[in-house]
Every structure is written in structure tokens, then in C-alpha cells.
Amino acid sequence: MTDRKTLSDRNETPEDVATLYSWANLHGAKYRDFSASRAQTRETARLRVQQAMEEEHRRAGQEAEAQQAAEAEHAAEEARAAEAARQAELAAQQAAREVERSAQQAARQLELAAQQAAEQAAQRAGQQEAAQQRAWQQTRPDRFSAPPVSNPAPQAAPYYPPPPQQTFDYPGYAQPQAHRPAPSPFPGQPQYAPMREESRIPPQNPWAQPAPREPVGRPAWLTSDRPGMASQSFPPPPQQAPEDTLQGSRDRMTSRWFALRGVFDGTPAPPEALPAPVVSRAPAMAVFSLAGGVGKTSLVATLGRALSARGERVLLVDTAAFGLLPFFFGACDQRPGLLRTFNPPGGSSDAPIQMVTIDPEGLGPEAPGQETLCGEISKFARGANRVIVDLATASGATTRRIMRLAPLVLVPVVPDMNSVVSVSSIDAFFEHNGSPAGRSALPYYVLSQFDASLPLHLDVREVLREQLGERLLPFALHRAPAMSEALAEGMTVMDYAPTSALAEDFDTLAGWVKSLSAPASTSYRGVRWSER
């Protein structure tokens, strides 16, 4: 019989019973009872199993305790976060109440100051009107002393026979024709009763005594300009030759009427300098945002570029001391306080764009009745068709000063819950800080960075439509990486990606702005045509 297990030590007693019997037969050992050894082996195995089970139970208990401790720590962390959020919400509510209270106080102060300024202006206007009325009554010509005659139907004015005419044999003098007043070309307009020429000449006029006296049938524009000329008594004029008197009449006529220049001497009139064009006041537009990152400056630059493509000469005003507005048009530096002009490439029919950076804090505080910031903008806006102001982010003081221009206010918002919550605060601010006439100037809103494939953006748009109604523009500015890429290249998206959907959005926005407020027009008044 072979061994089933090779023993490392021949004197060691095998644990297996079968092996033990085999070992005993091989070594000639007598049979012995190994039941005690087997019981001991089984007890040892049982103890080992029990120890393993206890170890497993202990390990499971430790893991359960650790998990409970972690859950308790997480719950405590969540409680601390909730408490911090509640404290922050309370602080924000208190800050909002403080801001609203200060805004109401400032609005009341501005309203009182505006009322005082309006009363003072009305008082000054009344005093000036009264002074002008007194001056007019003292210096008005006699020919306006007759009361107006109401003539509702187009009738011919009554005819008065002219006084006897005197003949003059001056060389080159044409006898005056009998003057008949023409009927009024406008039915329903009042007519002044015609007056005889003799009623404006006192009977003791010394000019009627010399032989060559003034003809009584002369037009009114050949009489003297000085008031009270007919009622004053003058010494007899020195005896002059008829040629000298006629020359004086010629000088008076040629100095008064341009068409008579050169009639007597035959020389052409000297060329005149072209007068300055008459430009109506440019409409103003202000772009406001309560927080950064909504694309306010990009909107100002791109909208100005879109209006330039439509032929408008736009002035862009940046109220931030160091903004990014010049970099959209290829600038490499910032020059606050300097008017800059950016011209389109050669061969382009687009109008140039002007830009200026004005720091309101550098102008100092404004006293009641002063408009320093608006005066600076009006000074730079000469010749511009439209003014677009990039308001500093969440700057209430600057916005109140700009509102004196009565601008059209546009607020870009991104489609998130922060915009939905802040709309009511923005409306409340502009209700208390409206136009100078006291009318509320509620702003318009446009969605920026809009993505129609996102459900959240669609939901926010519907909520804003319910809140704002028609003040939310019916189109949005879509989200596109071309906006950031265009700024990196030193241009607007209208030049960087003119065929993109975002460029079409800004072109639509420019059309909406033009439909809401027409640009200022440039015209010339009192300018004659010439052969130049």
C-alpha cells in the first residue's frame, strides 16, 4: 500500500485517519484509538470557522457605522449650506430694499429739482415774453397798427386810388406804378387792411419841401429801418445833386437785396461761403444691462456697424473708462475723451462710424439744472444721424444722467432664470427714472445668445413674453462662436461672417431701430444755387 501523502517528518503524527492507518501498517505500529485526535481536529476547525464568522460580522458592523457617520456628515453639510443660502437670500433682500429705498429718495429729489427748474424756467419765459411784448409795443412800425380784418372768403382787397404821382426826370429812374393790393392766396387767412402811403408820412415832413422829394408810392422795403422814423422831425437836408440822392437809394437797395447786386454796376456778386448744414437733433439710444456677460458692448458695436451699412452716420458713446468698444473696429488702444472716426474700406458705400469714451466720474457731480454729460454728448454728436450709448454695467447714476436725452432704451438678456427674476427690478428702476417730461420710459428687451434647440431657452422666452408683451422683440440674437472670433480679429460679426444667421439678426435689429426712430436729417436753409 502506497502513501497518499508524503510526510515531511517521519515522527510527526498524520492528521488524516486513512493516512494514519497506512503509516501505522508501514511502520509496524500497533493499532491505537485516534478518536480523541479526530475530535480535537474537528474542534479546531469549528473554532476557525467561528472566528472567521465573528471577523466577518465585526467588519460588517464597522462598515455600517462608517456609512452612518458619512450620512450624518452629509446631512450636516446640507443643513449648513441651506442655512448659508437662507442668510444670503435675506442679505440680498435687505440690499434690494436698501437700493429701492435709495432710488426712491433720489427720484423724489430729482422730481423736486425738476419741478423747481420747470417753475424757474416758466417764470423766466414769462418775464422774457413780457419784456418782448413791451419792446414790441414800443418799437413796432406804424403799418402794423391797423387791426387785422377777418376775411373768411377769398375776396379782393378794397382798392384805394393812389395819390397824385409826381414825375422825376432823374436819369435812369423808372416811375413807380400804381400799387393795388393783391388778394390773399390762402382762403380763411386774416388780411390786413391796406393803408395809404400818406398815413405813414407826417404832414410836416421836411423831406417833402425840397423839389426832389421821395415818391409816395414806393414799396415798404425801401423805407428806413429805424423805428419812429416817420414821427421824428429832422433838420432840412443839405442841397445835394440828384445824382447823389439816387446813388444813396441804389446803395440801400443793393445792400438789402442780393438780386440787385450788380444791376447798377454790372459786376457779378462775390462768391459766398457755403453755410453750415442745418442738422436736426440726432435720436439717442441707450443699451443697459444689470449684469455683465450678456453681450451689451458687442450689441452696441455690431448695431452701429449695421446702421452704418444702411447709410447712417452713427456716434458710439462708451461710458466705461476702459471699454472694449474701439477694438471692434480695428483699434489697438483706448483714448478716453477723444473723438475717433473709423472709416470703411475703400470702395465701400457705408458711412463712417464715430466713437468717443466719456468717463462720467471725470466730469464731476452735476448740480441741479446742469447737464454736463448730456452737453458733452451733444457736442460730439454734431453731424451724426444717431447716437448709441453703451451704459456702464449696473450704473444707476450714469443712467439717470443719460435719461435726460430721452433715449430709446434696449436691454439685452440671456435666456436663464436670472433674467426672468431681474426684469421686474429693471422696469421699476426706469419707472422711477423716466424722461425729463415725467413720462415713464420702459425699456425694450432682446434675447441674446439664444439657442432654439435647448428646452430651457424656449421656456424662458415664453415666460418673458408673458411678462413683457410687445416690449420683448419678436426676434432673438442667436448664439454663435463667430461673435467672440470676430472680436479676436478686431472686427464685428457683420464683417467677419456677413452671411451668418447672427449677421442677419443684427440687420433685422437695425431695421427695427430705424422703424422706431428715424435718423436725424441734414439740410441746408437759405442757400442760393450757383454756377459752381
Look at residue 26 in the predicted model and tell me its pLDDT. Answer: 76
Q: In this prediction, what percent of the chain has a pLDDT beyond 90?
A: 38
Angle at 514 between CA 513 and CA 516, to 5 degrees: 65
Closest by CA position to 398, among listed 260, 474, 286: 286
- Whether residue 43 is contained in a domain is answered as no
- CA gap 517, 497 in Å, rounded: 27
DSSP 322: T
Look at residue 30 in the predicted model and tell me its pLDDT. Answer: 56
- Whether residue 476 is contained in a domain is answered as yes
Average pLDDT value over all residues in the chain: 76
Closest by CA position to 471, among listed 403, 413, 421: 413
Q: In this prediction, what percent of the chain has a pLDDT beyond 70?
A: 64
User: pLDDT (tens digit, 9 = 90+) per residue, 483-502?
Assistant: 999 999 999 999 999 999 99
User: pLDDT (tens digit, 9 = 90+) per residue, 349-365?
Assistant: 899 999 999 888 877 77
Do the Cβ atoms of 297 and 390 come closer than 8 Å? yes
* 260-291 exposure pattern, b = at least 16 Cβ within 10 A, e = fewer: eeeeeeeeeeeeeeeeeeebeebbbbbbbbbe
Look at residue 199 in the predicted model and tell me its pLDDT. Answer: 41
- Whether residue 396 is contained in a domain is answered as yes
**Cell 421656456 belongs to residue:** 459
Look at residue 506 in the predicted model and tell me its pLDDT. Answer: 95
- CA gap 372, 360 in Å, rounded: 9
At residue 328, does pLDDT exceed 90? yes
- Whether residue 444 is contained in a domain is answered as yes
Q: How many domains does the chain have?
A: 1
Residue type present at position 26: L
Question: pTM for the full model?
Answer: 0.49
- Written as one string, the DSSP assignment of 183-199 is PPSSTT--EEPP--GGG
Distance of CA 267 to the CA centre of its chain: 54
Look at residue 152 in the predicted model and tell me its pLDDT. Answer: 47
**Cell 452612518 belongs to residue:** 68
- CA gap 529, 532 in Å, rounded: 9
* 318 sits in which H/E element: strand 314-318
- CA gap 310, 508 in Å, rounded: 12
User: pLDDT (tens digit, 9 = 90+) per residue, 149-162?
Assistant: 444 444 444 444 55
- Whether residue 293 is contained in a domain is answered as yes
DSSP 321: T
Q: Please report, for the domain that includes residue 382, its CATH number.
A: 3.40.50.300
User: Going by C-beta distance under 8 Å and a sequence separation of 6 or more, which residues neighbour residue 371?
Assistant: 401, 404
Look at residue 160 in the predicted model and tell me its pLDDT. Answer: 46
- Whether residue 343 is contained in a domain is answered as yes
Q: What angle in degrees, to the nearest 10, is found between the helix axes of 501-516 and 296-309?
A: 70
Closest by CA position to 323, among listed 296, 361, 294: 296
Residue 456: give the domain boundaries.
280-521
Half-sphere exposure (CA, 13 Å, Cβ side) for 213? Answer: 13
Closest by CA position to 358, among listed 334, 333, 382, 342: 334
- Whether residue 462 is contained in a domain is answered as yes
What the block records as the C-alpha cell of 59 is 467588519
- Written as one string, the DSSP assignment of 205-269 is -GGGSSSSPPPTT--GGGS-SSTTTTTS--PPPPP--HHHHHHHHHHHHHHH-GGGTTTTT-PPP
In the beta sheet, which residues pair with residue 408? 285
More confident residue, 279 or 114: 114
Look at residue 143 in the predicted model and tell me its pLDDT. Answer: 40
DSSP 490: T
- Whether residue 73 is contained in a domain is answered as no
